[in-house]
């Protein structure tokens, strides 16, 4: 347990930031799952709309350093392949 005032503050700030990161990651995962569900559903228009939302979410997560830029590029590439593979 920290004794210095600034160290106590760091503990509180770190907890807050960890919670914000956790919420952002959870929201990203939900967005990706919605895209996958739209692709499995077979509706091309709905999947295209979910794709744009998912790509934006992945880009924002990469900008916030929640995802590595290469991981974000990989996710976007796989989503594009799924979308283009729809009949």
pTM of the model: 0.86
Q: What pLDDT score was predicted for residue 1?
A: 87
For the segment 64-78, what is each residue's pLDDT rounded down to a tens digit?
Answer: 999 999 999 999 999
Q: What pLDDT score was predicted for residue 87?
A: 67
Q: Report how far residue 68's alpha carbon sits from residue 82's, in angstroms, rounded to the nearest whole number.
A: 21
- Give which of 76, 86, 70, 77 is closest to 28, Cα–Cα: 76
Q: Does 10 score more than 80 pLDDT?
A: yes
For the segment 14-42, what is each residue's pLDDT rounded down to a tens digit?
Answer: 999 999 999 999 999 999 999 999 999 99
Q: Report how far residue 28's alpha carbon sits from residue 33's, in angstroms, rounded to the nearest whole number.
A: 9
């Amino acid at each position: 347990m920290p004794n210095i005032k600034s160290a106590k503050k760091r503990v509180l700030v770190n907890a807050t930031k960890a919670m914000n990161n956790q919420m952002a990651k959870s929201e990203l995962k939900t967005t990706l799952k919605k895209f996958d569900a739209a692709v499995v559903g077979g509706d091309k228009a709905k999947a295209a709309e979910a794709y744009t939302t998912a790509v934006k979410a992945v880009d924002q997560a990469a900008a916030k350093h929640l995802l590595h830029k290469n991981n974000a590029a990989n996710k976007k590439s796989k989503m594009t392949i799924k979308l283009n593979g729809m009949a």
